[in-house]
Amino acid sequence: MAEEVEEEPKKSNLLKIIIFLVGGILLIVVGLGIGYFIFGGEPEPDPSAEVNQIIEGKEAEKKKTDDVENKEGEEGEDGIIKKNVKAIPEVDSYETTYFEFPGDFTTNLKGSRKFLQVSVGVSTQYDEKVMEVVDSHQLALRSEILSTISDFTEEDISGSDGKKKLSERLMVVLNKKLESLDEFPGIEDVYFTAFILQ
């Protein structure tokens, strides 16, 4: 009979251990579940993604505002509101590149005691390489500019027509010089940024 009494406490101890283990596992699972629901379960968003969303939101808001402004039109003669449509400009030309020769050009005019002091710039709509070539051959081109200006008289350069003739002549001379240097003659216009006759 003594043996039977000892078996019951062992069974009850084993039963208590199993209940505690199951209860502990249940508490852990419930705790994890509650933590998942409280803290969301989603990973934290990338800060750069948030910045992009803010920027896109502003762009979308601006677009909506522009759309509303474009939808509002003026009332026509017949009382119907006509939609304002913005025209899209057509661009048939390329970007113009400029180069200004450093310093001034000063030379005597033909048959006169007066001299002309000018600052010269050139432009092209070809590639930027044309201006790189002009820059690399400045010495030869400066010489051509001075000799061309000295061929003009005081009467030749008077007025806007005279300046235009000098500009056109310089363009031809500079392109010929580039061609003689085995370079592409891409100068399309010559400008005077200073023009002083003394």
Q: What is the DSSP string of 40-87?
A: -SSPPPPHHHHHHHHHHHHHHHHHHHHHHHHH--EE-TTSPEEPP-PP
Of 162, 166, 128, the residue nearest 145 (C-alpha): 166
The pLDDT score that the predictor gives to residue 27 is 87
Going by pLDDT thresholds of 50, 70 and 90, the confidence category of residue 90 is low
| Mean pLDDT calculated for residue range 96-123 | 91
What is the DSSP code string of 149-193? HHTS-TTTT-HHHHHHHHHHHHHHHHHHHHHHTTS-----EEEEE
| pTM (2 d.p.) | 0.53
CA separation for the pair 58, 167 (Å, rounded): 50
CA separation for the pair 192, 63 (Å, rounded): 44
| Mean pLDDT calculated for residue range 91-116 | 85
Helix axes 129-136, 159-180, angle to 10 degrees: 90
For the structural domain made of 97-197, what CATH number should be given? 3.30.479.30
Residue 83 has pLDDT above 80, yes or no: no
Of 101, 130, 131, 133, the residue nearest 118 (C-alpha): 101
Helix axes 138-150, 129-136, angle to 10 degrees: 80
The residue ranges of every structural domain in the chain are 15-40, 45-88, 97-197
Output DSSP code: residue 113: S
Residue 70 has pLDDT above 80, yes or no: no
Residue 68 has pLDDT above 60, yes or no: no
Percent of the chain residues past pLDDT 70, beyond the cut:
67
Question: pLDDT tens digits for 3-23?
Answer: 555 556 666 788 888 888 888
CA separation for the pair 134, 19 (Å, rounded): 94
CA separation for the pair 198, 169 (Å, rounded): 22
Write down the mean pLDDT value for the chain. 79
More confident residue, 116 or 58: 116
Residue 139 has pLDDT above 90, yes or no: yes
Going by pLDDT thresholds of 50, 70 and 90, the confidence category of residue 80 is low
